[in-house]
């Protein structure tokens, strides 16, 4: 009888160890912080950032904030002294039994297409407290095409209000975050709202990868001022989009048709303030890749990379095909001049916009606890390890 009781007790202890081992390991086992390579002067710095977003019913305010602020975040990251190339990815998550558990949008420098997908995210589902955070983190670390370059700052921002399900049979966050650290990926956690049982896992996830944990109000607590310059910047930005011409094979041109479709979608559906932020980003050096995409003819001719007379007729943009060679050259030259003029106007208006916003923020007491400032502080510290220097504060 005593032997039977002892056996039952041992079985119970073993089961308990299996169930609670990840939580214990999160608290007691140190994980080496990510090794972030330092950027040398000869290298072109790169930033890969993935936002892991809770899209359950309670997160509608934060999702709207993300739609409004993604361009400001990109502008902030691009403002380093040595302008980096930026790629953005998304992992949306809910929970088992909802319309989806996770949706993955891979890293891309085509922020227009990423944004067009973000526009479709809506808050729904959830309701039982914990969510599929472990699965979302796993997808962010293992199912995203992280760059292999030594000079990259790679970072995840986990954003949500509820803790992970620890009762699912899946890889749990201590192991996932350990894998992130091995890859050199920093994981920052942003808790929306004040649900008490979220604090501990969010704090642990950040600590295990040498990231930051911070709390914001349920809707995100971002700076949300509009300016008198937004509408004109948004209009000029749409005109800047219209200066693009794409050349190459049918496959190459069709690929860019998808980008143009995303641009049309956001110009028709995004707010004026969001489109103004996008215009500010696109007119900057850091926004060049998003504005142009691949095989953009006007920029290629302006830089001397391509000569019109070297292209076969089927490689030309449809707009140019009916024109005589002299008309083609004149048309492209007009687009070059128009683009330069539009970029100059947007840059000038963006300076006025920034001054206006800085005054508003100062009048509001500096807004040091805003999402914008907290994101900037995290990026400045972590990207600084890789050699990227930030001095100007967050873009709004």
Please write the tens of the pLDDT for every residue from 32-49: 555 555 444 446 799 999
pLDDT digits (tens, 9 = 90+) for 121-146: 999 987 778 999 999 999 999 999 99
pLDDT of 179 over the 60 cut: yes
- For residue 16, being part of any structural domain is answered with no
Query: Does 318 lie in the same domain as 280?
Result: yes
pLDDT of 3 over the 70 cut: no
Query: Does 112 lie in the same domain as 84?
Result: yes
User: Does residue 118 sit in helix, strand or coil?
Assistant: helix
- For residue 15, being part of any structural domain is answered with no
Query: Does 214 lie in the same domain as 250?
Result: no
Q: Please provide the distance, in angstroms rounded to a whole number, between the alpha carbons at the two ends of the chain.
A: 71
Helices (H), the chain: 2-28, 60-78, 111-118, 133-142, 173-183, 196-208, 230-241, 250-269, 272-282, 288-292, 297-303, 325-363, 371-385
Query: Does 267 lie in the same domain as 122?
Result: no
Whose structure tokens read 């310059």?
229
CA distance linking residue 289 with residue 325, whole number of Å: 28
CATH code: domain of residue 123: 3.40.50.410
- For residue 206, being part of any structural domain is answered with yes
Query: Does 278 lie in the same domain as 349?
Result: yes
Query: Does 206 lie in the same domain as 85?
Result: yes
- For residue 215, being part of any structural domain is answered with yes
pLDDT at 68: 92
CA distance linking residue 172 with residue 137, whole number of Å: 9
pLDDT of 25 over the 90 cut: no
- For residue 4, being part of any structural domain is answered with no
How many structural domains does the chain have?
Answer: 2
pLDDT of 1 over the 70 cut: no
CA distance linking residue 291 with residue 75, whole number of Å: 13
Query: Does 94 lie in the same domain as 200?
Result: yes
- For residue 268, being part of any structural domain is answered with yes
DSSP per position, 154-177:
EEEEEEESSPBPSSSSS--HHHHH
User: Does residue 81 sit in helix, strand or coil?
Assistant: coil
- For residue 248, being part of any structural domain is answered with yes
Nearest Cα residue to 189 out of 232, 158, 235? 158
Residue 312: Cβ-neighbour burial (10 angstroms; 0-12, 13-18, 19+): exposed
Query: Does 92 lie in the same domain as 62?
Result: yes
pLDDT of 232 over the 50 cut: yes
- For residue 394, being part of any structural domain is answered with no
CA distance linking residue 261 with residue 112, whole number of Å: 9
Q: Which run of H or E residues covers position 104? A: strand 102-108
Interior angle at CA 192, CA 186 and CA 193, nearest 5: 145
pLDDT at 274: 97
Provide φ and ψ at 49, rounded to 5°.
Answer: -130, 130
CA distance linking residue 345 with residue 143, whole number of Å: 41
CA distance linking residue 362 with residue 368, whole number of Å: 10
Note down the domain range covering 307: 230-357
Contact 339, 243 (CB under 8 A): yes
Residue 13: Cβ-neighbour burial (10 angstroms; 0-12, 13-18, 19+): exposed
Sign of the four-CA dihedral 100, 101, 106, 110 = positive
Query: Does 81 lie in the same domain as 207?
Result: yes
Side-chain half-sphere CA neighbours of 229 within 13 A: 19
Average pLDDT of the chain, as a whole number: 89
pLDDT of 258 over the 80 cut: yes
pLDDT at 386: 84
Q: How far is CA 242 from the centre of its chain?
A: 25
pLDDT of 20 over the 50 cut: no
pLDDT digits (tens, 9 = 90+) for 282-337: 999 999 999 999 999 999 999 999 999 999 999 999 999 999 999 999 999 999 99
**Range in 172-176, 270-274, 366-370 the model is least confident about:** 366-370
Query: Does 251 lie in the same domain as 210?
Result: no
* Residues forming a β-bridge with 318: none
CA distance linking residue 182 with residue 173, whole number of Å: 14
280: which 2 tokens? 């500010």
CA distance linking residue 159 with residue 63, whole number of Å: 10
pLDDT of 52 over the 50 cut: yes
Mean pLDDT over 326-351 rounds to 97
- Confidence category of residue 27, pLDDT binned at 50, 70, 90: very low
Query: Does 257 lie in the same domain as 180?
Result: no
Query: Does 179 lie in the same domain as 52?
Result: yes
pLDDT at 220: 86
pLDDT digits (tens, 9 = 90+) for 75-127: 999 999 889 999 999 999 999 999 999 999 999 999 999 999 999 999 998 77
Q: Looking at per-residue confidence, does 29 or 300 come out higher? A: 300
pLDDT at 34: 57
Q: How far is CA 145 from the centre of its chain?
A: 14
pLDDT at 129: 85
């Amino acid at each position: 009888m005593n032997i039977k009781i002892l056996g039952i007790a041992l079985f119970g202890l073993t089961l308990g160890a299996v169930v609670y081992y990840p939580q214990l390991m999160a608290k007691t086992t140190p994980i080496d912080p990510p090794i972030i390579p330092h950027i040398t002067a000869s290298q072109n710095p790169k930033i890969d950032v993935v936002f892991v977003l809770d899209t359950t019913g309670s997160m509608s305010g934060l999702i709207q904030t993300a739609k409004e602020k993604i361009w400001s975040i990109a502008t902030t990251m691009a403002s380093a002294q040595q302008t980096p190339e930026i790629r953005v990815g998304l992992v949306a998550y809910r929970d088992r039994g909802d319309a989806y558990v996770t949706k993955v949008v891979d890293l891309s420098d085509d922020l227009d297409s990423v944004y067009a997908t973000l526009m479709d995210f809506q808050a729904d589902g959830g309701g039982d407290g914990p969510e599929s955070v472990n699965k979302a983190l796993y997808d962010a670390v293992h199912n995203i095409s992280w760059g292999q370059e030594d000079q990259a700052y790679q970072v995840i921002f986990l954003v949500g209000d509820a803790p992970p399900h620890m009762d699912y049979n899946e890889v749990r966050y201590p192991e996932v975050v350990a894998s992130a650290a091995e890859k050199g990926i920093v994981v920052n956690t942003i808790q929306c709202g004040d649900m008490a049982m979220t604090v501990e896992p969010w704090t642990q996830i950040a600590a295990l990868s040498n990231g930051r944990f911070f709390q914001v109000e349920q809707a995100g607590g971002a700076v949300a001022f509009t300016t008198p310059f937004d509408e004109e910047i948004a209009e000029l930005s749409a005109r800047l989009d219209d200066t693009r011409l794409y050349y190459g094979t049918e496959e190459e041109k069709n690929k860019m048709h998808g980008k143009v479709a995303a641009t049309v979608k956001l110009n028709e559906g995004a707010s004026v303030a969001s489109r103004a932020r996008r215009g500010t980003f696109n007119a900057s050096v850091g926004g060049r890749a998003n504005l142009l995409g691949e095989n953009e003819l006007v920029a290629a001719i302006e830089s001397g990379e391509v000569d019109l007379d070297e292209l076969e007729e089927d490689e030309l943009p449809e707009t140019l095909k009916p024109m005589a060679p002299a008309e083609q050259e004149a048309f492209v030259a007009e687009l070059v001049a128009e683009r330069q003029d539009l970029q100059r106007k947007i840059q000038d208006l963006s300076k006025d916009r920034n001054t206006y916003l800085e005054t508003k923020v100062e009048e509001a007491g500096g807004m040091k606890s805003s999402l914008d400032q907290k994101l900037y502080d995290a990026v400045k510290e972590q990207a600084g390890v890789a050699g990227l220097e930030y001095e100007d504060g967050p873009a709004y």
